[in-house]
Structure 1
Amino acid sequence: MSIKILMWNVQGAGKQAFMATLKEIIRINNPTVIVLVETHLSGEKAQRVCDRIGFSGQTRVEAQGFSGGIWLFWKEEEVSVTPFEAHGQHLTIEIAKIGDTPWLFSAVYASPDSIARRELWKALEYAKQNFSGPWLLTGDFNETRTMDERHGVGGSEMQRRCINFSNWMESNGLIDLGFSGPRYTWFRGDTPSTFKAARLDRFMANEEWHLKFEDAAVKHLPKACSDHCPIILSTNGFAPIPMVLKPFRFQAAWLTHEKFEEFISANWNNSVPLIPFLAEFSSRLNVWNKEIFHNIFRKKI
């Protein structure tokens, strides 16, 4: 049995849109564990929302005022969970499939404040010192490993931050688990001149965890009602979806691309029956998305 872990920074999501979107993500992906960060809720209001999500196990780190917050949910019938350590910026547990050996799992929301982030790195190091074995981390780290993981933000200070974060991962034996799907997990801006993006959300693990789950894979899911994409890990990887079963989805980010209108003008045809034409048009758009849209930022950086 695969353990699927869904992580989502829900910043900017309205309450109704968030709940409807989350239920649809759960329906499609069937996660075993859910991590929600930057929830901005605490106390009774947080508990009412958590109860609506409907998982049998739950715990959380309360938001501080209207910032932060980490919520963790799991299916008690599939995994066992033992609390390990709670901190304002991370929630760490021991987790295992029922009857299996536990491993360490940290759900992270790193503060935008650089001083507070340094406190988080030290807290995570301290947690790991008290556990010998596989360790998996996920969350919004508010950092990137390289400048290639950013678009629209540069400068020597950002380069220094990338180097420091990459060095911290290396010094703690942490491996980035990679991903498939959209290149960035955070997006902001509606026009090419204001568009900014970064891969702030990720899964990483130590070598012991990586060896235990050699087939593990990560997907970036489509962005919806938040500034961040949900991301999901499956310990046994994901079965390939046959092309005939893959639904076509329009991506709003395409509208920000300077050549999108040009593509529409060149490929739209009003003189043919609409339904069969849409199948052909969506196929062309998927090719454009793969060859042009997904590569344009790599060329500009």
Structure 2
Amino acid sequence: MASSALPTPMSILVWNCRGLGNPQSIRIFRKLTKEKCPFLVFLVETKARKQQLEDVRRRLKLDGCFAVDNMDLSGGIAPFWKEDWNVRIINYTRWYISALIKEEENGHIWQFTGFYGHPETAKRSSSWQLLEMLKPHSHGMDVCRRFQQNSAPEGKTRGSQQTIQTNRSFQTSS
């Protein structure tokens, strides 16, 4: 199944773009992909439909894209990738996309899950439960997460006891 060869160094970029509907966001995305040369980009809060993201993929000369549409005026997630990787989407919801990645150069296979936690504090525990369920059984997994909070309490300038507790809940689930 997976090759015994060591994986090649890779670059994965995760960006909360807060919408790709304006030219400035597209310019920033183009600049990031040019400077960082990532093999995979996972965008969160695209606030875009599949066709818009496919247009962005073509304009930026990326080889693959899988989009989960936004809901109303928020959400939307999408990985973009280069042809060096064979990407097969395993499962997705509006909160995550899981894919098996095969590196063409060495045959190395691994699982990627791009994850977007619920923006409402009261509903985040269900996000962490989902993340726990997504742990793979047979492939290594890299999880890219985006939450509307810092994962460490010391990263906050102010915060409630509830925030500290939800941060601990997240850290123990991953």
Asked if these proteins are the same fold (TM beyond 0.5), I'd say: yes
Contact 1:111 1:117 in 2 (8 A): yes
- 3-state SS of the aligned residue for 1:144? coil
The number of residue pairs the alignment matches comes to 166
The equivalent residue for 1:154 is 159
Residue 38 of structure 1 corresponds to: 45
Q: Which amino acid aligns with 2:168?
A: I
Instruction: Considering fraction of residues, name the structure with more helix.
Output: 1
For 1:81, which of 87, 109, 114 is the aligned residue?
87
TM-score (norm 1): 0.51
Q: Which structure: larger Rg?
A: 1
* Secondary structure of 2:134 counterpart: helix
Whether contact under 8 Å (2:129, 2:173) holds in the other structure is no
The one-letter amino acid paired with 2:156 is: R
* Letter in structure 1 aligned against 2:11: K
The within-5 A match list for 1:33-72 is 33-72=40-79
Partner of 2:5: none
Distance in 2, matches of 1:120 and 1:57, equals: 27
Asked if the contact 1:143–1:161 (Cα under 8 Å) also holds between the matched residues in 2, the reply is: no
Q: Summarize deviations over 1:35-63 as a string: whole Å, max 9, x none.
A: 11101111433433343232111101111
Counterpart residue type for residue 39 of structure 2: T
Compute the displacement of 1:13 (Å): 6.9
8 Å CA contact retained: 1:37, 1:139: no
Q: How far apart, CA to CA, are the structure 2 residues paired with 1:115 and 1:156?
A: 13
Provide the identity percentage: 23
Specify the alignment match of 2:15 in structure 1. 8
Tell which deviates more after alignment, 31-40 or 6-15: 6-15
Secondary structure of 1:163's aligned partner = helix
Match of 1:164 in 2: 169
Amino acid at match of 2:46: T
- In structure 2, C-alpha distance between the alignment counterparts of 1:159 and 1:122, rounded to whole Å: 17
Q: Is the 8 A contact 2:15 2:42 kept in 1?
A: yes
Distance change >3 Å, CA 165–CA 3, structure 1 → 2: same
The TM-score with structure 2 as length reference comes to 0.84
CA contact (8 A) 1:90 1:120 kept: no
Letter in 2 for 1:89: W
In the alignment, is residue 144 of structure 1 matched against residue 150 of structure 2? yes
2:121 matched residue in structure 1: 114
Supply the distance in 1 between the matched residues of 2:90 and 2:19 (Cα, whole angstroms): 30
Matched position secondary structure for 1:23 = helix
Which amino acid is the alignment partner of residue 8 of structure 1? Answer: W
Give the direction of change, closer, same or farther, for the CA distance of 1:50–1:111 in structure 2 (3 Å limit). Answer: farther
CA distance in 1, matches of 2:19, 2:81: 24
1:103–1:115 CA distance, 2 compared to 1 (3 A) = farther
For structure 1, the residue ranges without an aligned partner over 5 or more in a row are 170-301
1:161 & 1:24 partners in 2: Cα distance?
35
Counterpart CA distance in 1 for 2:126 and 2:161 is 23
**Cα pair distance change 1:125/1:156, threshold 3 Å:** closer
Instruction: Return 5+ residue gaps in structure 2 as ranges.
Output: 1-7
What RMSD over aligned residues (CA atoms) do the two structures have, in Å?
Answer: 2.1
Distance 1:87 1:119, change over 3 A: farther
